[in-house]
Amino acid sequence: MRMRIRVPVCLLALFVVAVARVFASDPVLPADSPAPPGSRPAPALAKTLQVSNCRICHQNPGMRPAFVGDDGLRHDLYVDQQRFEWSTHYIMAGTYYCTDCHPTGYQVYPHRERKPMGCIDCHDDALLKEKFLAIRASFQQSVHYDAEQVQFQCSSCHPAHYMRKGQRMTLREKNAMCIDCHGERYNPGGLTLLEQHQWHPRAQLHLERTACIACHTQPGEWEDPVTFKHRVLPKEQASRVCDDCHSPNGKLADYLIDIGENPLQLSNEQLADKFYVSGATRSYWLDTLGLGLLAAVAIGMFGHGLLRAVITLLGRKQ
């Protein structure tokens, strides 16, 4: 009999303890009630969205503007479709879709596990790979290689979406690779480009008509015309002598690859047909004509003087 009474009493005691613990705990608030003071908000669950069309964001005019990341590089999330269709990757490589170069980590947003492809991931041909390695070796001698502010990559100067061959680029596009950084962001002195080049007697003309690398790089002996242009020199070693370019044996021919010509296969006459730079490009027929005119003037002056001397002597004898 006592055992039968003890069992319900024990169950009743457990029930009372459970109810007491419920009332002693924090009250349950409605979903729209403010959190009590001092309480910690529950961590929000990270939302991920499936990506079906990259253009919805990356070709939206209201896309976040370009920003400078922790690597010191300028990141532009907006992709200009027209410029992309002019790029080498679109025209020659047949790369038309985002996933061709962004195969993994971009299926959901945010792109946390993104793994963009590098240059050699695609350009794995033996000859191209050798060329890339030569460019890397030249770049490692550049002032950019040890730069503390920026972690340089190929895409720092050659954005994959707008990459074009040198002979297809305008002078403005070539210089933009330098000016985009050195115009404002990495300009410790705060001087304009014209003020920085005031030592040059024709600074404005050269800034408008000449590529930055024409003065800030130097070709090595028997070096590939593309390779040495990645070896940007300190400003103290940049060209400051006119003869570096304005002479028949100057370095100007090493930059002709940018207009689609092989400098080793062109004569001075052929160079003159493409463009003219005083002192650098010469034409045999033009030089011959100039020397002929100079000789004719000299002979005329000598003959005129000789004739006057003869007439004077004859006059005295009479």
Does residue 29 carry a pLDDT above 80? Answer: no
Q: Which residue has the tokens 């999330």?
A: 77
Whether the model pTM is above 0.85? no
The predicted pLDDT at position 24 comes to 44
Task: State how far the Cα of 318 lies from the Cα of 316, in Å rounded to an integer.
Answer: 5
Considering the domain architecture, whether residues 125 and 252 belong to the same structural domain is answered as no
**Number of domains composing the chain:** 2
Considering the domain architecture, whether residues 167 and 283 belong to the same structural domain is answered as no
pLDDT band at 28 (very low <50, low <70, confident <90, very high): very low
pLDDT in tens, 275-303: 677 777 767 788 889 999 999 999 999 99
pLDDT in tens, 148-201: 878 888 888 888 888 888 778 888 888 888 888 887 777 777 888 889 899 999
Considering the domain architecture, whether residues 232 and 250 belong to the same structural domain is answered as no
Task: State how far the Cα of 110 lies from the Cα of 88, in Å rounded to an integer.
Answer: 29
The predicted pLDDT at position 31 comes to 40
Considering the domain architecture, whether residues 151 and 95 belong to the same structural domain is answered as yes
Considering the domain architecture, whether residues 142 and 175 belong to the same structural domain is answered as yes
Q: What's the domain range around 263?
A: 241-292
pLDDT in tens, 48-82: 677 778 888 888 877 777 777 777 777 888 888 88
Considering the domain architecture, whether residues 98 and 192 belong to the same structural domain is answered as yes
The predicted pLDDT at position 292 comes to 95
In a domain, 178, yes or no: yes
In this predicted structure, which of 18-32, 176-190, 205-219 has the lowest mean pLDDT? 18-32
Considering the domain architecture, whether residues 187 and 286 belong to the same structural domain is answered as no
Sign of torsion over alpha carbons 255, 257, 258, 259: positive
The predicted pLDDT at position 19 comes to 47
User: How does the average pLDDT of the chain come out, rounded?
Assistant: 77
Considering the domain architecture, whether residues 178 and 214 belong to the same structural domain is answered as yes
In a domain, 18, yes or no: no
pLDDT band at 243 (very low <50, low <70, confident <90, very high): confident
- Between these two residues, 211 and 281, which has the higher pLDDT value? 211
Q: Which residue has the tokens 């950084």?
A: 181
The predicted pLDDT at position 53 comes to 85
Instruction: Name residues whose C-beta falls within 8 Å of residue 232's C-beta, 6 or more positions apart in sequence.
Output: 142, 143, 144, 213, 216, 217
